[in-house]
Amino acid sequence: MIPSLFTLGNLFFGFLAIIWTMNGNYQVASGLIILSVLMDSMDGKVARKLSVSTDFGRELDSLCDVVSFGVAPAILTYKVLLEGHMGFWGVLLAAAFALCGAVRLARFNVLNITTHFVGVPITFAGGLMALLVLFYQSLPWIVYPIALALLAFLMVSSFKVPKLGK
Amino acid sequence: MIPSLFTLGNLFFGFLAIIWTMNGNYQVASGLIILSVLMDSMDGKVARKLSVSTDFGRELDSLCDVVSFGVAPAILTYKVLLEGHMGFWGVLLAAAFALCGAVRLARFNVLNITTHFVGVPITFAGGLMALLVLFYQSLPWIVYPIALALLAFLMVSSFKVPKLGK
């Protein structure tokens, strides 16, 4: 119950990030996604501490992650940087990021490996994009489509990524 | 593989619906969510026909559903009808719809019942909201927060809903 509240907090902030993106408050939207990363790291910790990891919690976690770290950062990056420079190609690239994130989560849940990650975790990819958008006024725009494409690829790739900081 | 393409089509149109909502094309956004409903009904049919239902497919399906039928209709309804009339309360109501959708999907995957649904399916709830938004110029605005709250409640309720048209 308690870990699920953090998980739902993750989705709540991801949802708010999309609304704030829509209203043009890009830095607040980035901050909300980063807040989702914190919520996401809390739910696992709390679940392990209370020894209440459940299938329900794991399912819910993925469903929230795809929104907060797949869809929300893709929409944010599209709106802030790709729309003006790439038009509809930007929509396709942003959608590809969200789709790769969903594929990664589905594969991770099925493989059920606990010792390491296969491919870059969506929380890392989405959190990094949000962090990059915080500095969109200082970085060249081309950084963003490259980062989005690279992270999308790394999410569905088969690289082993060690788990840090349980 | 082939059913998963329909599933990803579902997410793709749901993602586009959010972008189109952001750009003020509300009727196109509604249409895109309804297109997602069609994609979603296709993937299950194709998977059963080809006898290739997999755990991966089922996981991916839920991940796409939460975006296309939870987040996208909530964002659309908020933007078109709630923002002007309800302000931040509208954000909370729209977020509650998305959160209830995620809880419903997580519960459904864990229960793994195949004979009937427990609670209203998210595809129905999200599809109905998109359909209602198509007629937002003819219906009184109060219909929308009521429908959103009622469907959110019905998704997480424990009513048995018969499965129709396999």
Nearest to A99 by CA among A148, A133, A57, A61: A148
Q: What is the pLDDT of residues B44-96, one digit of tens each?
A: 788 778 877 788 998 999 999 999 999 999 999 999 999 999 999 999 999 99
Chain A residues close to B102, C-beta within 8 Å: 8, 11, 60, 63-64, 67
Q: CB distance from B18 to chain A under 8 Å?
A: yes
Q: CA-CA distances (angstroms) from residue B85 to B25, B73, B81, B99?
A: 19, 17, 7, 22
Average pLDDT over residues A68-80: 98
Q: Domain range spanning residue B27? A: 2-162
- B60's tokens: 């991916």
Give the separation between CA A84 and CA A61, rounded to whole angstroms: 33
Q: What is the ipTM of this complex?
A: 0.92
Average pLDDT over residues B113-138: 90
- Contact present, A126 and A73 (Cβ < 8 Å): yes
Nearest to B149 by CA among B158, B139, B157: B157
Q: CA-CA distances (angstroms) from residue B104 to A56, A59, A69, A121, A158?
A: 10, 10, 20, 24, 31
Nearest CB among A19, A56, A106 relative to B75 is that of A19
Nearest CB among A22, A56, A98 relative to B11 is that of A98
Mean pLDDT, chain A, whole residue set: 91
- A159's tokens: 């690289």
Residues facing residue B116 across a β-bridge: B162
CATH code where residue B11 lies: 1.20.120.1760
Chain A residues close to B109, C-beta within 8 Å: 55, 59
Q: What is the pLDDT of residues A2-32, one digit of tens each?
A: 888 899 999 999 999 999 999 999 999 999 9
Q: CB distance from A1 to chain B under 8 Å?
A: no
Could you give the number of structural domains in chain A? 1
Give the separation between CA A50 and CA A44, rounded to whole angstroms: 10
- B102's tokens: 């995620």
Q: CB distance from A98 to chain B under 8 Å?
A: yes
Cβ distance A59 to B110 less than 8 Å, yes or no, reads yes
